[in-house]
Amino acid sequence: MIKLKPTYIVERVTDINLNDLKADNIKGMIFDLDNTLMHPKTSYLPEDIEKWLDLVKNDFKIAILSNNPYTKYVKEAGERVGCVAYERAGKPRRKAAIRALKDLDLLPGEVVIIGDRPLTDIWVGQRLGMVTILVDPLLKHEEVWIIRYLRKLERIFIAKASKTFTQLEEK
């Protein structure tokens, strides 16, 4: 059975409570790139996310796992964020995520995967036994129609699978 229900849902990555994750023995974070950390197909990293990532790197190992096929774009994003970045990840396939776990030297239960797509980011995390966090896409209105349609279907599927979501709350 496909597991698309995320462990947590937050609006933006900056809403994630880092103390809660540390208390749950999370030692690493794997991020989707486009529409999670950066605006899609641009090199724009919002300032609040950039500052938040600086805090994250104090306590967590991090990596970027992107389905984006453009090596230069993804690698430059990784350099800007200050972490290893994998392009052409093929999510929800597990191969690239397993490679990221090995490179981070962490077990799946010690890592949270964060992304904006249940059918890719959340599903691969669920398949590997990671904590999963679904975020709202940074730029919903600029997506092609098929992606907007798929997002609606994903949300309906998740809502039917679970009437309520556990929220990460700021303390």
Q: What is the pLDDT of residues 91-131, one digit of tens each?
A: 989 999 999 999 999 999 999 999 998 889 999 999 999 99
pLDDT tens digit string along 118-129? 889 999 999 999
> If you write DSSP's letter for every residue of 24-61 in order, what string do you get?
TT--EEEE--BTTTB-TTS----HHHHHHHHHHHHH-E
Distances (CA, A) of 22 to 17, 30, 47, 56, 167: 9, 15, 24, 11, 16
- pLDDT tens track for 23-50: 999 999 999 999 999 988 788 889 999 9
Pick the residue with more confidence: 2 or 98?
Answer: 98
What local confidence, expressed as pLDDT, does residue 171 receive?
34
CA-CA distance, 62 to 8, in Å (whole number)? 18
Classify residue 13 by burial, with Cβ atoms within 10 Å: 0-12, 13-18, 19+. buried
164 confidence band (pLDDT: 50, 70, 90): very low
For the chain, give every domain's residue range: 8-161
pLDDT greater than 90 at residue 132: yes
Q: Please state the rounded mean pLDDT for residues 152-165.
A: 61
pTM (2 d.p.): 0.83
pLDDT of 51 > 60? The answer is yes
* % of residues, the chain, pLDDT over 90: 65
> Among candidates 54, 62, 52, 51, which has minimal Cα distance to 27?
62
CATH class, range 8-161: alpha beta
Q: What is the mean pLDDT of the chain?
A: 86
Name the 3-class secondary structure at 90. Answer: coil
pLDDT at residue number 107: 98
Q: Six-digit token pair at 132?
A: 């999963």
What pLDDT score does 41 carry?
Answer: 76
Backbone angles phi, psi at 160, to 5 degrees: -70, -35
